[in-house]
Each structure stands twice: as structure tokens, then as C-alpha cells.
Amino acid sequence: MASYSKNREMFVKWPQHFTFRWSLTIIISTIVATGIFVYHTPHQRIAGTPVEAPQRFKHHRYPRQLPTPIYEAASTTTTRETPTTTPATTTTASTTPVAIANTITSTLKEEKKNIRLPRALKPLHYLVKLQPFINGNFSILGYVEVEMEVLEPTLNITLHIVDIITKNETIRLIDKDNQEGAADLVIKKHEYDNEREFYVAHLEEALQQGHKYILSMEFTGFLNDNLRGFYRSTYRDAAGNLKFLAVTQFQATDARRAFPCFDEPGLKATFEVYLAREANMTSISNMPINNTFPVEGQEGWLWDQFQVSVPMSTYLVAFVVSDFAHLNATDIDHIQFRVWAREEALTQAQYALRVGPAILTHFEDYFNQPYPLPKQDMIAIPDFSAGAMENWGLITYRETTLLYDPDESSPSNQYGVALTVAHELAHQWFGNIVTPKWWTDLWLNEGFAAFVQYIGMDHIEPSWKVIELFVINKLQSVLTLDSLEASHKISVRVGHPSEISQIFDGISYNKGASIIRMMNHFLTEDTFRKGLSTYLNTFKYGNAEQDDLWEHLTQAAHQDGTLPLDLTVKTIMDTWTLQMGYPVITVERSPDGTSASVSQERFLMVAKPNSNNSEEYKWWVPLTYTGGDDPNFNETRAKVWMKDTETLITIQSLPTKDHWVIFNLQETGFYRVNYDNHNWNLLIQQLLTDHTVITTINRAQIIDDAMNLARAGQVSYGVALGLYSYMVNETEYVPWRAAINNLAYLTSMFQRTGAYGGLQNYMLKMVVQLYDTLGLDNSVNDHLLEQYKRTMAVSWACSLRHKQCLDNVLSLYRQWMTNPDNNTIISPSLKSVVYCHALAAGETEEWVFAWNQYLKSNLANEKRTLLRAMGCTRHLWLLSRYLEMAFDPNSGIRRQDSKLVFASVAYNDVGRPLAWTFLRDNFKMIYNYFGSRAPSSLITSATHGFNTRQHLKEVMTFVDEYRTDLKSASRKVEQKIETIKNNINWMDANYMTINQWLEQNGYSVKLQNVWNNNTLSI
């Protein structure tokens, strides 16, 4: 999955709202019967008409029609999930919902809940038939067969099931190995465990080990609008008509919402999918269509039967039913490669169509493993919770991550498309061909894709220097997160779906990618790729754990001599995956400089005595280094290994004391480096004399390490800020980005204090020079990083209230207002900056214009840019109204964008108090709006920059009030509380120090004291 930002209304929560749900089916029946229902209803199409089953299944044990439509459910015998929070059972197929609600399984209630499925059965094959009434009442008629092999005798069959109505009288079980004249096996009881999301069929007699059985059932579902399971999305066509489509999002545990299944990644099977659709629509799934034939008795309806899939996990199953159009790639001959989008946006798919096949074929070479499917579809979905999803052969994307218009989209949009396409295609090997046995090793999926995506991007866009961008976007960003005590291991034990969802975070993605990059360097790329290739071949179509990968990489390393025979990859990498955090390597040079004592200890932003026994944390650290006498930054294999048993080692043969040393070349190691004051001063002097002697990435590393070490109290801010003195000569984007990112923390801490004026002056002196050099005159011929640098300069100059910048962006925006169809007035690369700061400087008229442009735009990235910008206004009433609109389903803001709108207000220094108050006052409404899931990202953005004891008290009160609802966000909440405490400690330790430094260096604002005519610094 491309991003770890992973929403629901009351209608779909059947267990909690059973009475409501049952009543609604009657209401829908009444509406249909009276002709009020505005859509062409499925009732008119199929009432009383059998739905023809596939020819090969016309046996007495297989149903000849799908279940009754949902609005007729009240008149059929069904089993529903109980409205209580305790498990319920049915004793016969005719048990009513009321009886279920009053029945409690005492054994399940008393035992400790284990959410893992029993291991007595192994799924082999699924046949899934679904008929979604997209243009009707959104019901889904379903039928499933699951073929299973018995690994050990068992008296029950346990499947996952959520938000599905089963028809118990249709549930049948047959022994595939004993079909001749055999009657169905007797299911004596149907049991539903809501907490564990189980359906259990209790049998009269045990299933025989080694035999294969087929369980089949009919069921009814619902196309929800909560962006999970099998759900509905909407858009308006060129004529303004509302159109619907049906799409899936199953990762991590939502395949069970579409059909009953063994919904765990380690339980792979093959799938044969049938989708019923109206003739004016199309359907796509993981595999190509094998056959299309009419739905018997339903004029205008067709069945699409898809080829049987390769063995895969349930979370990778996917299907879409829509009226979308597609483009075919012509530059790849062995795979059918198509990109799908709504017809009005199809031209925006050209870039994805160009880079997709090139990246896919490059990965075939990189992994030494051909792409195993006959086709690859990519489709842009109007409503989608994640950035994208790697479903095998059918990758689903948000429109913003697949569609790109070269005339209107920014370079960052283009970068985002290439990044996401490369990420998802990398998953076709790492995650799909070989899948983790359990979500504990999610990082094997996401970390590898997050690393390898840069290899794919570098292949298609070498001028972008994406290998440098990795350091800023992945490595340095996650080092801050992983310096918290509330961080977590990469490989972390999880059970309940709420726990699984929490590890789709920066640790799994960005730290995972960073330590894989480190491993790629200490093994060498040739050895690394050799080990990956044998790993993928060995576990093809199966499941693996991280130890399996370590074994194959070790074999390759020993063959190539890149690791000593007595050292394994597991020995090294277990120290990085099985414990949280990372070390700071402290280098203390001898008086003559030729040797150094090198130590390691866990780096914490705020180190407390015995913090989680930090003294016990040690790593196998690959040390790389070079000296100022003969600098060489290209040797990134470890010169010295620091073992996890070593706290202190001595390194010899360093240059003399007049020459600096730099450790962690190209910042390939996942650690920070601290030096003695003499070496820091040598680095400062080198940067001032000729900064180009130090490679670009290491310039960014030195700044980032120094500022974070100062933040943690391990280096003085005099040293850290002293490094910035050379920035007037810096021309590269990556060091500038590292420098600005770290000053952003100081800004957030000082923004509401009396010393902010001094910090503002300090930053303006640095940034305005860059702004004056680059200006607003963007050239489309400028390379990507030059455009990024210009956008950064304009953004910060305007954020610091530089008058010329504000006047320029407001003037440009007002020119656009007079000619809204002219796309050349504002450069695409500067749109986000110009929109935001023009709205911040403008009035209501500018805001209303932005809203109208949002409504009329056909470009998803443009709409997203406008949504962000509208949160930049400094008019409180507009911000308050915007917050209300964010959670109003009728406002025109899609549910997937609600968090974006909220964050845009919360990161506005004027809007943050409004956002925090709005979140506290409306938390229950917001919680329900996202489908009983705690919106952890809203808590993070609303409390950004909190650094007072009053802030901490407010957050603790909020957490205490909603403790139960926040369970699914517990890790994020814990990290946020720790961050606020750290901010308070930082203010106590550093506020006066930095204020004095600003004053001593002439940046404080001088005011006249009216009493004694003395000046007062603020």
C-alpha cells in the first residue's frame, strides 16, 4: 500500500444498530413497492427470477440462484450478527435474529480471545459470485464456495465474516473426496462471534484428515460508502450526472466484508471470480476475463467469469465494476497493461501509462523474476482511503496518485505519480509473489516497496536525483519518530485488526526502507539482489518470515565474500528489527586526531534515567568514514563493524587533528553521529571554505544530526546553528531541505512566544536571500530539484510574512481571479504556495473563488491543492465554517479528504486553537463519521506544536474522556503525549538559550523602554 493513512457510517454497523438496519430494509421495500425509489431497481429485474449458476456447478449441492435482494431480507430466513457485544449462536437454520440476540456462547465468553483462525483447515480454492446493485439500492447478492484441505481432524469450520447476512438454510458442506452418492455433511449449529469476526459451522462428525471438503453458502451484503470492503464510489460526469461504481479495498482485514473467507495473509488459495454487471458497465478483477454470458432471466445483465488466479492472500483479491474507460500500453508485448479512469479524466492517465510498463519491466530484471500474471490494470478511484493498493494484477489508486496533467499539475504531483506507481509495482514481487505469514512482518512488504520504489523511479527519471531525496523523505523523517520511547519495533506482534492498522506507519514504511537501504550498502547491491532473487524463487506463491530472507541474503553474502563466514545477516538485522530505536555514534578523537574512541548508545529525544532500559539497547553498526585529508564518500561498505556486545571501540589510522572526519557516508547507516567540539568546528570551517568538498547527502546529514543532537541536549545550539552560517553559499535542494525542516521545529516552538520576532528575523535573513535569487519566475525547463527549491523558498518567505513575497502571490492570484481559465498565470510548481499565501493575505472574495474553482475542477490534484489552500485563510469565521464542511457529507468534500481539510486548518497558526476545540467538542460525531475508528491523524495535526503544561493537561483530559474510543489509535496517542512532554522539556532547557543567542547575534527586535529610555530586546 502506498501510504499509511488508512471511514464508516451508522448504516453498515449491523451488530450495533441491528434494529435500525432491519427497519431500513422494510423502508427500502416500501419505497420500491410504491415507486418512490429513483433508480432502476434490482427488484424490478430479478424478483422471482433465478440467477443462473455457472455450468460446471449445476450439481444438486450448488444453488442455481443468488440470495434474495437485501430489501426482501425480512421475508427470508437469515442469520445476522447479534446487536450485543457478546458472541451469539444459532442452533438451527430457522433461528430468528431475536433468538440470536438472546443467546450467548458461554465457552467463547469465558475463554481468552484469540483472533487467529484455527489451523486445522487450509483453503485451496474459492469460487466467488457477486452481483452488486450499483445503480439500485446498493445491495450485493453473493455466493461462495471454499474448497479446504483438512490438516487435522476437526468438528468445526471457522471463517471470517463481517457485515454480511448469511442464509443458513443454503449453507452446505460436502466431502469432495467422497462425492458418489454422498449426502451433505450435517451442520448442527451456526455460530457468529462478532468480536473475533468469526462464523463457525459446528459439525455432527469430524472432518477426516487429508480429505478435501467444499463449504458453500449464499449471502447478502451492502455496498457501503466507508471506503473499506466492497464499497461504492461516486463521481459526476461532464453533464453533471451522478455516477456510481463499486470497488474493493481489503487490506488488511476487510475481504471478510465482501465474502466469507480465511482472511489471513498466510492462508493463500486460488480464486475464481464471477461478477454480474449491467451491460453498459465493465468489470475488472485480478485476472483477465475468461468468459462473458447473460444473466439468465435478467435482461441487460451479464456475468463476467474471470480466469482462475494464482495462489494469493485474500487481502489482494480485487474487483471493480464501473463505466470507466481505459488506455492500452503499446510498448510492452508480454503483458496486457491498461490504465483506467473516468472518461473525462482519461487523458490525465498518459504519464502513468508511460512509466508503468517501464518500471514493471525494470523490476523484472532487478528481481530476476518475470511478472507472473498475463495482465496488469491500474485504475484511478474517486473515493479511496489509502494512496494506492497493490492488488495483484489490479492496482487501485486515488486519482491524485495516478492522474497527472502536464499543463496544470505540479512537478511534485508528477513525482507522486511515479513514486506511487513504482511502489505498487514493487509489491507485485515483494508482498504478492511472496507474502508475510502474518502482519508481524508487514514491514517486509512496505519497507521493501518503500525502498525499491526509488530504484524504479531512478530508472525512469534519472535527472530527479531521487536517491538523494530518499534521505530527506524517508530516512531523516523517521529518525525523529524513532527517537521516542513510544516508538515500536519494526517486527511487532499484532493480533486484533485495530492493532494491525496501527503498524501501517512510518516505522514499517520509512524505517523499514532505511534499514533495507543500509543492508543494500553493507552487502553490496550485487549480493543483495542475488539473495532477493533466490528468496523470491524459493517462496514463490507462498509465505515467508524475515528469517527466511536473512537466510538467503546470508548465503549470497558468504558466496560473494561480502560478509565473514562467521557472521550472518540475521545476527546483524535482528538488532535493527527486534528492538526499537537506533544508536547515536559518538566519535571522540585523540589529541593528535589519528585515532578515535567510538561509542554507541540509544538516541532518545529526551533521555530519562533508565528509559525503557536504554542502556541494554545495542546494535550491530556498520561504520563508514572518511577524512578531510583524502575525502572519499563512495565507499559505503562497512570499514568497521561495531558489535551489539560493544559499547566502546577504538578506530586507528584517522587523519591528523587539522583534518575533519565524517562518519556514516551518504547517510547509509540508520544512526546519528556526534563528534567532539574540535571536529564540529573543523566541519563548520570546511563548509564555510568550500562546502562542495563534502558530498550533498552528507551536508544534509551533518545539519540534521547536529540540530537533533542539540534538540536532545547532546550538542550546543551554538554549534548546531553555527553550521547554518555557510547556507548563503548552498545551492543544492537536499541540504536546504534538511536545514529548513529543522528550523521548522524551532518555529513551531517559538511561534506563540515573545522571542518569535528574533527567530523570524534570523530565518528571514537566510531565506529571503534564497527567495531573491530564485524568485517567482518559474521555468518548465528547470530540473525537478530546482523547482522544489524555488517552491520551498517562496513558501518560507511568505510564511515568515516577507512583504514582497505576500504582495507578489496575492497579485498573481488576483490576476487568475480575473481570468480563471488561464492556466499559465500561476506556474503549476508554485500553485500550492501561491494559493495558500494569497488566501492568507486575502479576504472572503479570494476564499469563495477558491471554493468555486474546487467545485468546477476536473483534476484531482488541483482539487486537493485548493482544499489545502482554503485552510490557510486567517479569517476565523471561514476556518470555523470550513471545519464544519469537512465532516458534512453534503458539502462537496469527499470523506477521504476530510482529514486533509482538518489538517490544513490545524497547521495554520491561527486555525490550530479552532481545530483543537472543534475536535474536542465534536469527537463523537467525527468518530462515527469515520466508522468507529479513532482519527489519529486529526489528533496529531490538532496538537502540532503543543509545548505548554496547559496543552498537556488538555490532551490528557481529552484522552481520559475518550479512552475507549481511542483504543485503535493508542500508539499514536502515546507518541503524541510523549512529544508534548518532550516539547515542554525542550522549552525549559532551550528557550532562554536560543533567545540569548538570537540577541547576541543581532536578530532580536529592539523596543524603547518608556521608563528609562533603555532598549528592550524581544
d(C-alpha 888, C-alpha 929), whole Å: 9
Q: What is the grid cell recorded at 100?
A: 440470536
- 288: exposed, middle or buried (C-beta count within 10 Å: 0-12, 13-18, 19+)? middle
Neighbours of 752 (CB within 10 A): 13
Q: What angle do CA 465, 467, 473 make, to 5 degrees?
A: 105
**3-state SS, residue 892:** coil
User: Three-class SS of residue 958?
Assistant: helix
Beta bridge mates, 166: 79, 219
The single-letter code of the amino acid at 151 is L
Distance from C-alpha of 899 to C-alpha of 653, rounded to nearest angstrom: 54
What stretch of H or E contains 268? none
Cα angle value 397/403/407 (rounded, 5°): 165
Whether 424 is catalytic is: yes
The identity of residue 959, as a single letter, is V
Residue of 998, 489, 512 lying closest to 724 (CA atoms): 998
How far is C-alpha 649 from the geometric centre of its chain's CA atoms? 40
The whole-angstrom separation of Cα 734 and Cα 698 is: 10
Task: Extract the C-alpha cell encoding 70.
Answer: 437485501
Q: How far is CA 933 from CA 7, 14, 711, 937, in A?
A: 7, 16, 34, 11
Nearest-angstrom CA–CA distance, 443 and 434: 13
Instruction: Tell me if 547 sits within 8 A of 635, measured CB to CB.
Output: no
DSSP string computed for 699-730: HHHHHHHHHHHHHTTSS-HHHHHHGGGGGGG-
- Could you tell me the sign of the dihedral formed by the alpha carbons of 771, 774, 776, 781, in that order? negative
- 41: phi then psi, degrees, rounded to nearest 5: -85, 150
User: In the block, which residue shows the cell 496486457?
Assistant: 336
Question: Which residues, in sequence order, are CB contacts of 555 under 8 Å at separation 6+?
Answer: 531, 534
CA–CA gap between residue 772 and residue 779 (Å, rounded):
16
Contact 866, 897 (CB under 8 A): no
C-alpha cell recorded at residue 85: 457485544
Identify the residue whose cell numbers are 468489470: 283
DSSP secondary structure of 425-444: HHHTTBTTTEEESSGGGHHH
**Dist. CA 491–CA 489, nearest whole Å:** 5
Rg (CA), the chain: 30
| Helix locations, 580-732, DSSP H | 677-690, 696-711, 717-722
Binning the chain into helix, strand and coil, the percentages to the nearest 5 are 45, 20, 35
* Beta-bridge partner residues of 845: none
Collect all residues with Cβ–Cβ distance below 8 Å to 557 and sequence separation of at least 6.
Answer: 523, 527, 531, 563, 569
**Exactly one of 197, 218, 424, 786 is catalytic; which is it?**
424
Q: Cell 502540532 maps to which residue? A: 944
- The Cα 705–Cα 476 span in angstroms is 9
Angle between helices 512-523 and 442-460 (to 10 degrees): 70
Q: Which cell goes with 566? A: 562467521
CA distance linking residue 212 with residue 219, whole number of Å:
23
| Phi, psi dihedrals of residue 483, rounded to the nearest 5° | -90, 5
Which positions are annotated as active-site residues? 424
